[in-house]
Amino acid sequence: MIVDITCSKYPACASNKKSCAIEKIDSANSATIVSQIAKIEADLFGSGCWNKNMILQELQAPMRAYYAYIDENANTDTNTDTVAGYAGFWFDGDDAQIMTIGVAKEYQKQGIASNLLKTMIENAKSIGAKRMLLEVKVNNNPALKLYKKFGFTKMGLRKRYYMPEGIDAYTMCAQIEDLDDLENLESSKSLEESSEAYNSAKSEENND
């Protein structure tokens, strides 16, 4: 199942002054969203991407919550939602595990990854999670800086975690109860300076 978790509304997509919203992905909107996510995945992650079937399986798996960052002004003629970014997490009791974060290249450097991360932290806390976990490539310095800004610290190292490249991953953790003042976090736009900032932290089960 995907629990009924609060969605977020933002007045603008940074400097472009677009109307945007973060929406929970569910059975009502997944048909129009999944294909766009698959395209973004392929563009960002190449041979390591999730394909459409993998995305659908992940959305249908238990204890998942996934979100799409929608540009509401992009396709006003066709009335079709345009996905600028997406993110999701798995949860079980005290722990919430970030599964992926991705932002389309044309929407990067606008703080979208930060807003998606805030949404996941807020909603994980609302369902009782005590800490949030993730994996990130050891050479992904912009993402590491972003996660550090949100209170994540390194826990360990997983050798050759990201396949097929065989890149190592850091495991990171944040205590959710320590992240009460998200609205006053300094803007992390400057920390999202390359497309690598959006490399997703895929769960280990999806790297087998």
- Residue 109 to residue 124: CA distance in whole angstroms: 25
Average pLDDT over residues 56-73: 91
Does the annotation mark 147 as catalytic?
A: yes
pLDDT tens-digit readout, 122-163? 999 999 999 999 999 999 888 898 899 999 999 999 999 998
Does the pLDDT at position 73 exceed 90? no
The gap between the terminal CA atoms of the chain, to the nearest Å, is 23
Question: Which pLDDT does position 48 carry in this prediction?
Answer: 83
pLDDT tens-digit readout, 42-52? 998 888 889 99
Delineate the domains of the chain, giving CATH numbers in brackets.
8-207 (3.40.630.30)
Does the annotation mark 135 as catalytic?
A: yes
| Closest C-alpha among 18, 30, 19, 23 to residue 4 | 23
Catalytic residue among 67, 69, 107, 147: 147
Catalytic residue among 23, 41, 58, 135: 135
pLDDT tens-digit readout, 78-114? 566 799 999 999 999 899 999 999 999 999 988 999 9
pTM, rounded to two decimals: 0.77
Average pLDDT over residues 184-206: 44
Q: Which amino acid is at 140?
A: N
Q: In terms of C-beta density within 10 A (0-12 exposed, 13-18 middle, 19 or more buried), how is residue 168 classed?
A: middle
